[in-house]
Amino acid sequence: QVSQLANKFRGTLIGALLGDCLGAPFEGDFVVTKSVLTNYVTKLQVETGSVLQMYSYTDDTAMTKSVAESLLECKGFDAKDMAKRFTFEYEQQPKRGYGANVVDVFSALKLTDFEDPFAPAKAQFKGLGSYGNGSAMRISPVALFGYNMPFDQLCDLTKNCSLLTHTNRGGYNGAILQCLAIHQALHTNITDINEAAKFNSKEFLNSLIDSMTKVEKDETSQPFTDKLLSMKKVIEEEKELGALDIAYLFGHGVAAINSVPTAIYIFLRAQKPLQEYETDNVFVRTLYLSISVGGDTDTIASMACSLTGALYGATEIPEILIKRCEVNEEIMKLADNLYAAVMGK
Ligand code: 8NA
Ligand code: MG
Ligand code: MG
Ligand code: MG
């Protein structure tokens, strides 16, 4: 038996792993039909034969592991250490579906012997930096490690972890939004699934809007805040958006602006029963909706499932789904170690 907070820490990282592994087979599809998806998710939950079919993780988890390990080993942010872990992980297993351009950062880091670990990312896209979701997809350990951090410190830590690969504000602000959302879910006091009805999506979104307004206040435009404001309208009107509508309104692509808000909307939407997919489990609903929007399914599912895991904890996740994911035991251990680090044990 672990405490509910330890359970929420596990849910955060296991959710991220599960969305990545189970969402990956549909990456790049343009929305996924109800029949294909129902068949897939139903089969995932049934044990047939003696050997369970396993699902591989992709870059999302590879980089999440590196972030967690670096924070734990260095007891905080160490740019060189984290950059080295990203690069070595990539070198050992390059075929994990990394973004098309981020691999150039790893090569440049190695070539320059990690002398200035922030330099290669700055040169990406003719100096504009990457706005991909690659920094947001790996940020869950930061929300855990920064569980007790004040707002500004948490944002700074997130930004630093992002700048190693993503220097465009679309990239690092996307990571900040995802990190703040997880952090808020962790701090939302829900003792178990039976208290789900207490969760208030509107309040959750409003306080996220307040936070993101602070983050974007000195910038020339506020793209993330604007998207959250349009989400607020959708939620207040209690519209039940289908997959196409979600993809159209919030996006389903590899840019953080087209995937982080999408994951947050899906997390909020999955709180209530879905018309298209019948299941009582909020976690399974999150997975269904994430994959249904198509596009960057592994990353959207990873981010959305991490949020659901942070709110309810790992015990709400069907065990058979966890067992199907590669490295699930290792990820569970990382969550426990982060919990111990935060508790000062
Ligand atoms: P990234 O930094 O290479 O960015 C991803 C892509 O976004 C780039 O390849 C560009 O197409 C585009 N992009 C980013 N910034 C700019 C810019 N300033 N100007 C023009 N285009 C830009 O990699 P990342 O780490 O952000 O990518 C993360 C995503 O890649 C995740 O979804 C992950 O799952 C993976 N992914 C892999 C595949 C695959 O083929 N296996 C497909 C989609 C995504
Ligand atoms: Mg991936
Ligand atoms: Mg992939
Ligand atoms: Mg992806």
**What number is the ipTM of this complex?**
0.95
- Hey, which of 89, 130, 168, 298 would you mutate to test ligand 1's pocket, going by the most ligand atoms within 8 Å of its Cβ? 130
pLDDT tens digits along 297-343: 999 999 999 999 999 999 999 999 999 999 999 999 999 999 999 99
Give residue for tokens 């209690």: 238
Sequence-separated (6 or more) residues with CB below 8 Å from residue 293: 31, 243, 246, 247, 252, 262, 266, 300
Q: State residue 25's pLDDT score.
A: 97
Closest atom, ligand 1, to C-alpha of 256: 26
**Token pair of 190 as six digits:** 């829900």
Q: State residue 31's pLDDT score.
A: 83
Distance between Cα 345 and ligand 4 center (Å): 35
Q: State residue 2's pLDDT score.
A: 86
* Residue 306 to residue 314: CA distance in whole angstroms: 10
Give the CA diameter of the chain.
58
pLDDT tens digits along 271-280: 999 988 999 9
Name residues contacting ligand 1 (CB within 6 A). Answer: 27-28, 58-60, 97, 99-102, 125, 128, 130-134, 137, 168, 254, 296, 298-299
Assess contact for 17 and 303: CB atoms under 8 A. no
pTM of the model: 0.98
**Token pair of 334 as six digits:** 């990382």
Closest atom, ligand 1, to C-alpha of 105: 2
Q: State residue 194's pLDDT score.
A: 76
In percent, the amount of the chain with pLDDT more than 90 equals 91
Q: Quick one: which ligand is closest to 28's CA?
A: 1
pLDDT (average), residues 107-114: 98
**β-bridge mates for residue 325, sequence order:** 55
CA-closest candidate to residue 310, choices 3, 5, 11, 2: 11
pLDDT (average), residues 145-158: 98
pLDDT (average), residues 156-169: 98
pLDDT (average), residues 120-142: 98
**β-bridge mates for residue 255, sequence order:** 132
* Residue 241 to residue 210: CA distance in whole angstroms: 24
Q: By alpha-carbon position, which residue is closest to atom 6 of ligand 1?
A: 132
